[in-house]
Structure 1
Amino acid sequence: MPLFKPSHRRKYVNDDKAYALFELAYTSVDMAAALLFIVGSVMFFSEDWQTPGTWCFLVGSICFALKPSIRIYREIYYFSRGDYENLVGGKSGS
């Protein structure tokens, strides 16, 4: 069993891409939640806009709930592949 296989390089490139996609999804949901809460807060200054503001808060809260969902999905994804290095935060310590 050779230590260095050309096929291992491709595996790590795919792992980097998957990890980057999970991080991108996590950051996007985080940003959406923050923006929705800011917009919802501004809407609450006007009585006419309080109902849409409430909806912004609700959708923002759902986005906050998606954050741990994305993390657990990523952890299950890596665990099912046997990729324990990425599972324990081998890429960026997160």
Structure 2
Amino acid sequence: MSLFLHQNRERNEDTRRVYALFEIAHTAVDFLAALAFIAGSVLFFYKSLQEAGTWLFLLGSILFAVKPTLRLARELKLYAMGRQEDLKARLKG
């Protein structure tokens, strides 16, 4: 079994649920990152608020870094779930 295969997320109800939860988290992080960059951009129009804008840009950048981390964590979780099924099948056989 490999990572990033469509069939890993479609094996059973548990894997579909895990996939859906990670997709919700990924989408939420995407929205938060976009909002941080938009707010930071608006704050840059005001000299007195540029420092706050800089912090929002940093937050947005961190959130964008979280996205691939979530994807990798999802794939590792789905992979581990498949390994458990493989072990169960071997024990029964």
Which amino acid is the alignment partner of residue 15 of structure 2? D
Shift of 1:14: 2.1
| RMSD value, Cα | 1.4
- Equivalent position amino acid for 2:41 in 1: S
Structure 1: segments with no counterpart, 5+ residues: 1-10, 84-94
Displacement of 1:36:
0.3
1:30-49 superposed Cα distances (whole Å, 9 cap, x missing partner): 01000100000000000000
TM-score (norm 1): 0.73
Pick 1 or 2: higher relative contact order, CA cutoff 8 A, min separation 6: 2
Flag structure 2 segments of 5+ consecutive residues without an equivalent.
Answer: 1-10, 84-93
2:24, 2:15 → 1: CA distance?
Answer: 14
Is 1:49 matched up with 2:54? no
Q: 2: distance between equivalents of 1:25 and 1:39?
A: 21
- How far apart, CA to CA, are the structure 1 residues paired with 2:60 and 2:35? 8
TM-score, with normalisation over the residues of structure 2? 0.74
Instruction: Give the aligned length.
Output: 73
- How much does 1:15 deviate? 2.0
Percent identity of equivalent pairs: 49
Which protein is richer in helix relative to its size? 2
Q: After TM superposition, give the deviation of residue 13 of structure 1 in Å.
A: 2.4
Secondary structure of the 1:82 match is helix
- What SS is found at the alignment partner of 2:45? coil
